[in-house]
Amino acid sequence: MTPPVTRRGDTGAAVAEIRDRLGRLGLLPSAEPPVDPASMCFDDEVDVAVRAFQQQRGLTVDGIVGPQTFRRLEEARWSIGDRVLSFSPTHLVSGDDVLALQQRLSALGFDLGRVDGRFGTRTDTALREFQSSVGVDADGTCGPETFRALARLARTMSGGGTGAGASAMRELHALESLCSGVADKVVVIDPGHGGEDPGAIGPSGLREKDVVLSVALQLRERLNALPGLRVMMTRDADFFVPLHERVKKARRVQADLFVSIHADSVRDHSITGASVYTLSYHGASSEAARRLADRENATVLKGGVSLADVNPALASVLLDAAQSQIMGASVEAADQVLGALDDVGAVRKKAVQHAGFMVLKSPDVPSMLVETAYISNPSEERKLRSASYQEQLARAIESGVVNYFQHHPPDGTNYANRRRDGDTVESDSGV
């Protein structure tokens, strides 16, 4: 049943239903004691909640509940475990529970294509692979037994803070090595800003959030076309993602590389050129201090060592060692991307820069932030607007990433010997 389009000022049963669903999602305070549904009003509070929901789901944020928003509200009712899930060719099952299943399978390294909340054939294949790898009957039906296996792994992956982190991570790694496709390098692409945060705005109105998304989507397409590489996006549409969520996504999939894409802006409109940043030493040490202070939140480093499992002195040494290695790898990768951008045209400085940007702070994922150009400069704004320049940028970042993976030695890079000179900017804010 499709209800009529509903918006602010409307009243009636459809409004009552919308209020109820938003309430269950925690976007509205729980409904007052039952009133006559016909008198339920689509007031300002509902309008705000609808917009928040639309933003969360990457829908057009207009506060109007049309067929698409209504369908997504409907799908949002399901959480994982609520119903048995399986592939049905005649009617694709969709919902938040399917999305959660896909996210878990994807985080475990199973290739299922789009994580879109729709139970298609690739989700079916991935689910069967998962089932056979954990010794559950591989029937493609996600019922109680499979839910239990997923829940157990989800707990181990989130760290939990129980002290069981290290053994749980070993179990997870063992599982991963059984699964096909896990040898792929995972690149997380992070288009800056989005949704209510437009980023920088050029003199003629070009918005940073739009340009960087377009470059990022092209980069995704290029990298996904290469064998052995798999891309995850922190956002793939115009919605807002908090900075710490971006870092969390990269860590959750144990990314091999994190690339944040931005466009720079300064008051002096004559300044031009691309820059590439990695985490500054100061940014890294303050983050390390924070993680050590917060050990009960069980930072688990790649390789399965949980900081909660060891004494503070050892935790500090381990974190230092891991971070040096990651920072070295970050600089190498950034250097390759900077070199490739230099071939395309103007880079502002021929050395990788260092800053304390929040999104660069994963302790176990090599990370860089690319400022593609100065959107505040009228001629660079024009270039950024053009499809051909966006493609050149995507191509350049792609070739830098590929060079890095080709040249990157598997382990043991010494950051101290490789640190480059460059300006250091300290900032915990977004860029």
- Decide whether 80 or 200 has the Cβ nearer to Zn ion: 200
- Decide whether 199 or 422 has the Cβ nearer to Zn ion: 199
- Decide whether 339 or 430 has the Cβ nearer to Zn ion: 430
Compute the least distance from the CB of residue 199 to Zn ion, in Å: 5
Compute the least distance from the CB of residue 369 to Zn ion, in Å: 8
Residue nearest to Zn ion (CB): 262
Compute the least distance from the CB of residue 209 to Zn ion, in Å: 8
Compute the least distance from the CB of residue 277 to Zn ion, in Å: 11
- Decide whether 78 or 374 has the Cβ nearer to Zn ion: 374
- Decide whether 127 or 369 has the Cβ nearer to Zn ion: 369
Compute the least distance from the CB of residue 71 to Zn ion, in Å: 33
- Decide whether 96 or 208 has the Cβ nearer to Zn ion: 208
Integer Cα distance of 48 and 28 in angstroms: 9
* Contact footprint for Zn ion (CB under 5 A): 192, 199, 262, 431
Compute the least distance from the CB of residue 193 to Zn ion, in Å: 6
